[in-house]
Amino acid sequence: ETFDAAGLHILPGAIDVHVHFRDPGYTHKEDFESGTAAAAFGGVTTVFDMPNTLPTVATGAALAQKHAVAAAKACVDYGLYAVLGEESLDHLPDLIAGGIIGFKLYMGNTFGRIPSPSTGAMLEAFERVAPTGLRIALHAETNSIMERRQARLAASGRSDPLAHLASRPAVVAVEAVARAAILAEWTGARIHVLHISSAAELAPLRDARARGVDVTGETCPHYLLLGTADYARCGGVIRVNPPVREADNHGPLWAALRDGTIDMIATDHAPHTPEEKTRADIWAVDCGFPGVESQMPLMLSGVAQGHYSVCDYVRWSAENPAKVFGLHPRKGAVAVGADADFAFVDLARRWTLRDADLQSRSKISPWDGRAVTGLPVHTMVRGRFVMRDRALVPGSAGFGRSVHPLQSMPPAQPRHQDQSLAAVTAQRPEAAE
C-alpha cells in the first residue's frame, strides 16, 4: 500500500486517558463507533473509556457487556475503566480478571449518579487495589462541600452559568486531592488526578509526590485555553465538571505541564445533545462537551506559536499516558516492538474548528469557530489506516482492540499500613486473589 506523506510529520498517535463514549446506555449522546471515529479524526489511536455508562461498570457482567460493545464498534484501541466504590468492592477480582486499564473513583457527583464513597470506603478500596498495581483515577471533587454550596446558591435564586463555577470553587478539588493523596500514601495505591483545573491543586499534588506517593495528573485543553471570559460567549455549553476557571490559572497549569507536575493532556470528552446542553436549568447534570477530536489541533497550535516543541506535545499526549498506565513501549513510542500507531499531521495547516464538522454525535462545544494550526491528515492504528485524507476508512469499526497494562506493576510500598487490618483483610476470600 502506498500513500502520500509528503510534508507531513509522523507522530505517535495520541492516547486520551479520559473519554466518555456513553455506550451502553446513553447512545443518543455518543456510542463506541461515533466516539472512536472522532478519536481517529483527532489523531488519537487509543482511548480509555470511563465507567459511568448504563449499567455502571461495577460488576464483571457489566464489564463483559461493555467489552462486547467496544470490540464490535471501536475504530481505535481502547482501555476500559471500572468503577471503584462501595457498589464494586465485592466485585474487584471479577473486574480485574475481566480486563481493565485501571479504576475510576468518583469523589464528587457526576453524570450517571454514581455514589461517592465515604473516606472509610475509599481507604478500604485503596487497600484492596494497591497490591494489583493498577492505577486509580480520581474525579477529585468533595461532594459534601459542593452540594452544600449548590444548595445555598440555588436557594438564593442564582441561576447564571457562573453559579455553576461558584458551586465548585477550587477548594472543592484541593481538599479532595489532598485527602486522596493521604490515603494513597497510607496504602501504597497508585493514583491519577483527573481534570486538574486550578493552580491551587498543584500544591497538594507536589507535596504528595515529594512524600513518595505514586500520583500522576492530567489537565484538559479547556482548563489551559478557556477562562471565565468565555462564559458569556458560550452560556451553558461551557458547563463542565470541574468548571472552567479564571484565566490566572493558565500560567501555573502550563508551567506544571512543562516541569512534569502534570504528566499529560486528556480531554474528558463528555458528549451531550444540543437540547441537553442548552436547557435553561444550570443545575442539570449534562456537564461537559466533546473534546477527543480537537485536542491535537488545539495543542499543536501552541507548537506553531513556538510556546513548546512538538516533542513536548508528544510527551504529554502519548509517551506519558502510556508510561503512567503501563502500556509503554508498546504504545506511546516509536521503537522496535511498538505498535505502529501514528498520526500523520500537517503542522502548518491553518483551519477553523467547526462543531458541525465533528464526528462526535454531540455537535456542540466551546471550540466552534476557533482558529487552529495543525491538522491530523491520516491516522494509523497497528499498521492500518483508520482515517485517511480526512475520511474514515471503511471497515474500521471493529478493528480497535482492548489494551491492558503490559505487566501487572509491582505494588508501591505502603508506608503506614495498619498491619492488624491488613491481616483481617487477607482472611477474606475475595482479597486472596
Binding positions for ligand NCD, 5-44, rule CB under 6 A? 20
274 preceded by cis ω (within 30°)? no
Q: How far is the CB of 292 from ligand NCD (least distance, A)?
A: 13
Residues 128-159 as b/e (b if ≥16 CB within 10 A, e otherwise) read: bbbbbbbbbbbbbbbbebbeebbeebeeeeee
Nearer to ligand NCD among residue 96 and residue 287 (C-beta) = 287
As a whole number of angstroms, the distance between CA 364 and CA 367 comes to: 8
Nearer to ligand NCD among residue 21 and residue 385 (C-beta) = 21
Residues 173-195 as b/e (b if ≥16 CB within 10 A, e otherwise) read: bbbbbbbbbbbbbbbbbbbbbbb
Residues 279-316 as b/e (b if ≥16 CB within 10 A, e otherwise) read: eeebebebbbbbbbbbbbbbbbbbbbeeebebeebbbb
Site size toward ligand NCD (CB under 6 A) is 11
**Which x/- pattern, by CB under 6 A, does the window 241-260 give for ligand NCD?**
x-------------------
Task: Output the residue with the shortest Cβ distance to Zn ion.
Answer: 139
**Which x/- pattern, by CB under 5 A, does the window 169-208 give for Zn ion?**
----------------------------------------
Q: Which is nearest to 370 in space by CA: 221, 207, 155, 187?
A: 221
Q: Which are the contacts of 77, defined by CB distance < 8 A and separation ≥ 6?
A: 45, 46, 47, 331, 339, 341, 381, 382, 400, 401, 402, 403
Phi, psi for residue 118 in degrees, rounded to 5:
-65, 165
**Which x/- pattern, by CB under 6 A, does the window 217-246 give for ligand NCD?**
-----------------------xx-----
Binding positions for ligand NCD, 260-289, rule CB under 6 A? 268, 270, 287-288
**Which x/- pattern, by CB under 6 A, does the window 159-198 give for ligand NCD?**
----------------------------------------
Q: Does the footprint of Zn ion cover residue 268 (CB under 5 A)?
A: yes
Q: How far is the CB of 268 from Zn ion (least distance, A)?
A: 4
As a whole number of angstroms, the distance between CA 96 and CA 75 comes to: 24
59 binds, among Zn ion, ligand NCD, none (CB under 5 to 8 A by kind): none
Nearer to ligand NCD among residue 285 and residue 426 (C-beta) = 285
Q: What is the DSSP string of 384-402?
A: EEEEETTEEPTT-TT---B
Using CB under 6 A, pick the residue from 111, 126, 231, 316 that binds ligand NCD.
111
**Which x/- pattern, by CB under 6 A, does the window 120-159 give for ligand NCD?**
-------------------x--------------------
Residues interacting with Zn ion, by CB under 5 A? 139, 268
Interacting residues with ligand NCD (CB under 6 A) = 20, 52, 110-111, 139, 240-241, 268, 270, 287-288
